[in-house]
Amino acid sequence: MSTPYSGAPTTQAPPTPIYVGLDLSLTSTGVATIHGDIVTVRRVASKATQGNTSDTAARLDRVVAEILGSIPLTEHTHVAIEGPSYGSVGFGQHVRAGLWWLVRTELARAGVDTIIAAPSTVKKYATGKGNAGKDAVLAAVVKRYSNVDVTGNDEADALVLAAICARRAGAPIEDSLPAVQAEAVAAVTR
């Protein structure tokens, strides 16, 4: 009895990696997805609660579920999250930190490859300057990725994060990028 030949080439192509950028926010999280030639951006909106910590916890649960529900959680998904802003203060920053850690933890549980890019890294990749303002980042993103309908700062940051993720994996979506901007990728962490 012979064994069938198992070395025959397969016609099935390897799965296309999915690169996701998350600009986490309590009111309007930006989510960008790059899957092959398809680039999309969207927002996950949430209204503030004026209640106790139980209300805040429930809100965080809803926001995290919607964020995670908006991205494919597969072994071929790679996510870049904007790192925390350590200079921010107040109760809102405390809750934002909770959101950040909840999302980061759920991505780790799902086995999703995740990198962290500091806010200055996102700005530098977009504009060449790590201290650029939000509107300068938005303008640079709208110009560079003119085929994507980016309408706000959160979507712009998310798209830059997804682009950083793709470039770090060796699959840049830009035809070219000034060296100072491309070098920003070296600053990402896990």
Whole-prediction pTM value?
0.89
Tell me the C-alpha distance between 119 and 85, whole Å: 7
Contact by Cβ (8 Å): 18, 38: no
Query: For residue 183, what is the DSSP state?
Result: G
Residues of the chain where predicted confidence (pLDDT) is lower than 70 = 1-13, 49-52, 86-92
Q: Which domains does the chain have, with CATH numbers?
A: 18-187 (3.30.420.10)
Q: What pLDDT, on a 0 to 100 scale, did the predictor assign at position 3?
A: 46
CA–CA distances in Å: residue 90 to residues 51, 71, 98, 134, 149: 16, 30, 13, 21, 33
Q: What pLDDT, on a 0 to 100 scale, did the predictor assign at position 5?
A: 46
Helices (H), 36-87: 53-69
Contact by Cβ (8 Å): 185, 167: yes
Q: What pLDDT, on a 0 to 100 scale, did the predictor assign at position 88?
A: 64
Contact by Cβ (8 Å): 121, 187: yes
Q: What pLDDT, on a 0 to 100 scale, did the predictor assign at position 99?
A: 93
